[in-house]
Structure 1
């Protein structure tokens, strides 16, 4: 899950992954992976949601899908910004 988050943030910010702040600076990567890791060969538990901010973006992970919303200056910018989404 951490790799997916990093790639989604890099895509949304048009920043190389190695230039982003480390994920561990805002969330425990082991915990994030543990929450969304399939158990006993099944899919992750349904209705699981985590959100946090990194690199000027809000990251939302819901049921294993990562969505990145670049933080906008105004509500008009927020309405027109396109989120990056990764399954």
Structure 2
């Protein structure tokens, strides 16, 4: 995977936050959703939905945000926007770079 433009998607009241995140990561990595690591391997999906899913009072307060890494991407959710940025190196490339720096 190489560095690309970030993928941005708006949260929809009709979809769970986790669904939007999975679709955005899929688009950023050109990987089918069912081939991505499970979201629960890096973050609690129920908590994520609870924080960002619309409720009787609407969306979270302005400035609410969270970032985490999955499938070689950094996912940032701020207010009602999901932004996925691909890391510039794959994990194996990163490991090789770290070994080279250590020698």
TM-score (norm 2): 0.67
Would you say 1:42 and 2:34 are equivalent positions?
A: no
Given candidates 16, 20, 30, the residue that maps to 1:14 is: 30
Q: Which has the higher contact order (CA 8 A, sep 6+)?
A: 2
- Provide the alpha-carbon RMSD of the alignment: 1.0
Q: Which has the larger radius of gyration?
A: 2
Task: State the 1:38 CA deviation.
Answer: 1.8
Runs (5+) with no aligned partner, structure 2 = 1-16, 90-103
Runs (5+) with no aligned partner, structure 1 = 74-87
Given candidates 70, 80, 95, the residue that maps to 1:64 is: 80
Aligned to 2:49: 33
TM-score (norm 1): 0.79
Runs of 4+ more than 3 Å apart: none
